[in-house]
Amino acid sequence: LNDNPSCYKIALSGTVKSPKINFDPPFLMLMPVPLDVKTETTVSIIPQDYLRQSRIQVELPELELEDGDRIYPFSVWFPEGQDIVLLSDGTNKELICHISFRSSTPVSFLGNMFFIDEEKN
């Protein structure tokens, strides 16, 4: 450089990592309980490769009863918040999620609960 007309060529390479979340445990089975009694469990949400803060939202399933009524027997609670935070070491902070179920009518359910970040991943 410094008045030297030589040309320099720089090659760059990299890897793009898509953000993802894992769960511990990876699936959930709540124990049967009497009517109108709450059952609950705790799930760890393990974010990976989030380079900026994001917020997790949850889509809870709606259940249709035999008489056609619809109920939302699941609820979630994040005791430490729903924000995915990038720590100083480059990793993401684990989130704790409490999932509970309560129904005043007999029901069983096998399905999905969706955890979605701000970019709809």
- Kindly report, residue by residue over 31-42, the tens digit of the pLDDT: 889 999 999 999
* Number of domains making up the chain: 1
| Predicted local confidence at residue 65, as pLDDT | 86
Residue 1 inside a domain? The answer is no
Residue type, 54: S
Cα end-to-end span (Å), the chain: 46
Residue 73 inside a domain? The answer is yes
* 3-state SS assignment for residue 57: strand
Which CATH number belongs to the domain containing residue 69 in this structure? 2.60.40
Show the domain range for 95.
20-116
Would the pLDDT of 24 be above 70? Answer: yes
Sheet with 74-77: list strands edge to edge.
Answer: 20-24, 39-48, 95-101, 74-77
Residue 3 inside a domain? The answer is no
The pLDDT confidence band at residue 99, using thresholds 50, 70 and 90, is very high
Residue 89 inside a domain? The answer is yes
Q: What's the rounded mean pLDDT across residues 32-54?
A: 93
Residue 10 inside a domain? The answer is no
H or E element in which residue 115 lies: strand 114-116
Tell me the whole-structure pTM to 2 decimals.
Answer: 0.78
Residue 41 inside a domain? The answer is yes
Residue 11 inside a domain? The answer is no
